[in-house]
Amino acid sequence: MTSHDVVAQVRRRFGTRTVGHTGTLDPFATGLLVLVLGGATRLARFVEAERKWYRAEARLGQATDTDDLTGRLVGEPWTGVWPSQEAVTAALAAMVGPALQLPPAFSAKQVGGERSYRVARRGGTVALAPAPVMIHSLELLEYQPPMVAWRAEVGAGTYLRAMARDLGQALGVGAHLTALRREAVGRFRVEAATPLAALTGAEPLITPASLVDHLPRVEVGAEECARLRHGQRVGSAAGCVGPAALVEDGRLVAIGEPRDGQWHPIVVLAA
């Protein structure tokens, strides 16, 4: 099941066309998918930018053309001695921090205006540029050669498939991802999510203000709300950096960013 398949089911169950998600999961992956409905779809990017936690498993010994178990095996399988646990731990530790990561060829990255995976599926040549990513932490959970499992805390845009590929290259044995579970996105945890099979469409939704409660909150009045509806700047944002939630009596009115010392609305939700 793809993330798009999940969105299609939620559209039917809630009776609305306006449904989105805050970050694609590969079809073989499991775990958390944060969905946004109605006007809240415009807030998806602020959730997608949050840190994410994954549990990943990879098989050492051979690479694939997709960097995961769905792809075609490439190269010769490893027949030598498996790396030690100390070597695996050190290779994971070396990945932590800011880095330039080469996205998988089979990814949603744009290549000449077309998705990379579409070009790759046709047998075309995919030339992707390394992208800056942030890997906040990696924890080795289990190592039973050729299988290795770890937990990752990463920033937006980080590919766990690419991480498995890079781990295999660092160890000199090749590798590909075999399982992936998203455990959290920002404050949202998979343990608190509703299973898709149990979703009825009658569930209460969290408020837009709660969706972005990781952003700084700025209280605005009725007059400022009127100005925000017309795209006008309000208040004082002197010394502020980054977006903020502009709220009136707990209701999210807009997302603003500091411009020329005031809050400029970049997303307006007020009716």
Element (H, E) at 48: helix 44-48
Helical spans, DSSP H, in 193-271: 208-211, 222-229
Which candidate, 131, 125, 122, places its Cα nearest to that of 111? 125
Q: What is the DSSP letter of 130?
A: P
Angle, helices 85-95/160-171, rounded to nearest 10 degrees? 130
Residue 150 β-bridge partners? 56, 140
> Phi and psi for 178 in degrees, rounded to 5?
-115, -20
Nearest one of 133, 130, 128, 167 to 147, comparing CA atoms:
167
Place of tokens 């549990």: 55
Q: Which of 26, 67, 68, 166 is catalytic?
A: 26
Active-site residue, 26 included? yes
β-bridge mates for residue 148, sequence order: 58, 143
Which residues, other chains included, contact 268 with Cβ-Cβ below 8 Å and sequence gap of 6+? Answer: 228, 229, 231, 253, 254
For 117, phi and psi rounded to 5 degrees? -65, -30
19 vs 15: CA distance, rounded Å: 10
Q: Which amino acid is at 17?
A: R
* Residue positions annotated with a catalytic role: 26
